[in-house]
Structure 1
Amino acid sequence: MSKIIELFGKGTHNRSVDWQGVIGAQRCAYTNKRCYKVRKSNPDISIGTCSVLYGKVPEPVIICPVRLIERRQIFTDCFHLLTTHEPGNELHIIPEVSIPGGSVDYFLVSVKDGKVKDFVAIELQTLDTTGTVWPERQRMLETLGISRSDSAEESNKTFGMNWKMTAKTILVQMHHKVQTFEHLNKKLVLVVQDKLLSYMTKEFKFDHLETPALIGDSMHLHAYKMDNAGAGDYKISMSSRLSTDADGIGMFLGLQAEARVELEQILIGLQTKLSDRTLFQAVGTPDSLV
């Protein structure tokens, strides 16, 4: 039995879905665009995996951040953080905005007469996988009676969850970004699945966070759980809200921990680029410098 429980935003156990059409269209149900997760070996094929079953006791785990924008509930749950929003103002959702030190996935913006009056920054984080989900995906297509272009369903290759680096990386990023928003007296919200939050609370110092969240804090953490929606589908719903400030984010890791994480990020970035082309050559011009 395949561990893939959602493809292209559809529950794989929902037999009323036109799976032939869904797989052929490769369209994400949440963006109404082609799924951006493509095979490296064949960019014409979108993988489409939203969530999987994982763990000793298999439970739904979201592996695509776009999955979190279902019904736009995560944005609705941030309305109260627009503290200067007024009735009559328009609400806008703006994706991928650059800020000092990086970019933010979404901004929820209050607008009046074409001018920005208030905003909340929203960052999404789901579990990064290790290995490959492709064989599991192909096994699911086989179960659904969909023809396949390879025999990957016979492969014994599998996937895992990169809990440690996912958690550390996003906390370091939040530590950098929240200082900007705190200086501006604005809010930054990190949206995660409850499974990731549970891991974070075990691995990092979380007992200083406010639960439930305080509206005056600059950093908010919204966790969502996967509920059975019936007919083989799932939906997300809020599980918990926590909050802190820039100093609180720093306490998660400590200065030494932060340095270690940044070093790990650099090493991973370098490691993935190593090849014969990057090998130092004492004579001539290496291909990597041309």
Structure 2
Amino acid sequence: MSKISEFFGLNCKDDSLDFEAAMSAQTCPYTQRICTKMRKSDPNVKIGTCSVKYQNQDVIICPFRLLEHNQIFIDCLHLLTMHEPGNELYLVPEVQIPGGHVDYFLVSAKDKKVKDFIGIELQTMDTTGTVWPERQRFLNETGIAVDPVDLNNKKPFGMNWKMTLKTILIQMHHKSETFEHLNKHLVLIIQKPLYEHMKSDFNFDGIEGVRLGDPVHIHSYNFEEKEQRLTLSLHTRVSTDSEGIANCLGLNAESKVELQDLIRILEPKLIEANRLKIGISG
């Protein structure tokens, strides 16, 4: 039995789905674009593995999988403390700040002038090895012809829990100082197994409960099967500050930017394509 849980957003256990059509289209259902997970030996072939089965859990391995229904962004709206009815909401991807880039900025604006914003980082698991042989085994199980060489490849993939977490916590620490300096919020979105490893592998003393005034928030999500679909739901929220993140790692760094500098970066990106879509488009 293959260890692939989802293939281009489709539940691999649902035999009624057209996996061959998904393989041909190579479209990510969460971005409506071509999948970015490409095979190194042939970049034209997209791997399409959103999540995999590992140690009896369905583990997300692509950050775009977290975009389901834009729920993760809706769950952050309360942190836009300066947002008012009538303001527009924008979702601005890939913004560069000191300390690195931020995956998304959720921006409240009036007449395309920034009134408030929060930064949102997405983190899913990094795998060791390759999931390609498992992908090919899955396709073979569904009756789709694949290269026999791939089926004979017995190399397993693994999960690099500690390195994934250390990398994101270091990045969060650098960026959290900037957001704390600006009196704004930075949110980390992760899946429940990653959150549980974070608590067990790093010093989480004092990081419990959630306070609106804290600059750093962590939202952990369940990923469970409901009605033949794997679905995200909010599991828990905690918050802290840059010192709390530093205590996890024993780090010390400064990467600050002034508020007006960041607003100058954001406002040119407040375009129609970046409006936050909620519910029925129109």
Structure 1 residue 209, shift from structure 2 partner = 1.0
SS of equivalent residue, structure 1 residue 225: strand
The equivalent of 1:235 in structure 2 is 231
Q: Deviations over 1:93-129 (max 9, x none)?
A: 1111111121000111101111111111000001100
Please, which runs of 5 or more residues in structure 2 have no aligned partner? 254-282
Query: Does 2:248 match 1:252?
Result: yes
Q: Answer yes or no: is the 8 Å Cα contact 1:125–1:191 preserved in 2.
A: yes
Structure with larger Rg: 1
For the residues of structure 2 that align with 1:153 and 1:120, how far apart are their CA atoms? Answer: 45
SS of equivalent residue, structure 2 residue 39: coil
SS of equivalent residue, structure 2 residue 95: strand
The equivalent of 1:223 in structure 2 is 220
For the residues of structure 2 that align with 1:149 and 1:87, how far apart are their CA atoms? Answer: 56
Decide whether aligned partners of structure 1 residues 87 and 45 sit closer, same or farther in structure 2, where only a CA change above 3 A counts.
same
Structure 1 residue 17, shift from structure 2 partner = 1.7
> What code does the residue aligned with 2:215 have?
S
Q: Answer yes or no: is the 8 Å Cα contact 2:102–2:120 preserved in 1.
A: yes
Q: Answer yes or no: is the 8 Å Cα contact 1:10–1:29 preserved in 2.
A: no
Q: Deviations over 1:198-250 (max 9, x none)?
A: 00101111121131x1111000000001111222x201001000000011111
For the residues of structure 1 that align with 2:226 and 2:24, how far apart are their CA atoms? Answer: 25
Q: Answer yes or no: is the 8 Å Cα contact 2:60–2:125 preserved in 1.
A: yes
The equivalent of 2:256 in structure 1 is none
Q: Answer yes or no: is the 8 Å Cα contact 2:7–2:19 preserved in 1.
A: no
Structure 1 residue 150, shift from structure 2 partner = 5.3
For the residues of structure 2 that align with 1:11 and 1:83, how far apart are their CA atoms? Answer: 37
SS of equivalent residue, structure 1 residue 200: helix
The equivalent of 1:272 in structure 2 is none
List aligned pairs for 1:154-165, cutoff 5 A: 154-165=152-163
The runs of at least 4 aligned residues of structure 1 exceeding 3 Å deviation read: none
The equivalent of 1:54 in structure 2 is 54
The equivalent of 2:29 in structure 1 is 29
Q: Find the partner of 1:176 among 169, 174, 177.
A: 174
For the residues of structure 1 that align with 2:205 and 2:35, how far apart are their CA atoms? Answer: 38
Structure 1 residue 148, shift from structure 2 partner = 2.1
Q: Deviations over 1:118-175 (max 9, x none)?
A: 1110000011000110000000001111222453022111100001100101000000
SS of equivalent residue, structure 1 residue 255: coil
The equivalent of 2:40 in structure 1 is 40
Structure 1 residue 39, shift from structure 2 partner = 0.5
The equivalent of 2:203 in structure 1 is 205
Query: Does 2:80 match 1:101?
Result: no
Question: Could you state the TM-score of these two structures normalised by the residue count of structure 2?
Answer: 0.87
For the residues of structure 2 that align with 1:230 and 1:153, how far apart are their CA atoms? Answer: 31
Query: Does 2:184 match 1:186?
Result: yes
Please, which runs of 5 or more residues in structure 1 have no aligned partner? 259-290
For the residues of structure 1 that align with 2:108 and 2:153, how far apart are their CA atoms? Answer: 50
For the residues of structure 2 that align with 1:242 and 1:153, how far apart are their CA atoms? Answer: 43
Deviates more, 1:173-182 or 1:201-210: 201-210
For the residues of structure 1 that align with 2:20 and 2:38, how far apart are their CA atoms? Answer: 18
List aligned pairs for 1:10-21, cutoff 5 A: 10-21=10-21
Q: Answer yes or no: is the 8 Å Cα contact 1:39–1:45 preserved in 2.
A: yes
The equivalent of 1:118 in structure 2 is 116
Q: Which structure carries more relative contact order (alpha carbon 8 Å, separation 6+)?
A: 2
Q: Answer yes or no: is the 8 Å Cα contact 2:169–2:245 preserved in 1.
A: yes
Q: Answer yes or no: is the 8 Å Cα contact 2:10–2:19 preserved in 1.
A: no
Q: Answer yes or no: is the 8 Å Cα contact 1:109–1:120 preserved in 2.
A: yes
> What code does the residue aligned with 1:252 have?
C
> What code does the residue aligned with 2:76 have?
C
RMSD (Å) for aligned C-alpha atoms: 1.2
For the residues of structure 1 that align with 2:152 and 2:203, how far apart are their CA atoms? Answer: 43
> What code does the residue aligned with 1:73 have?
Q
Question: Could you state the TM-score of these two structures normalised by the residue count of structure 1?
Answer: 0.85
Structure 1 residue 14, shift from structure 2 partner = 1.8
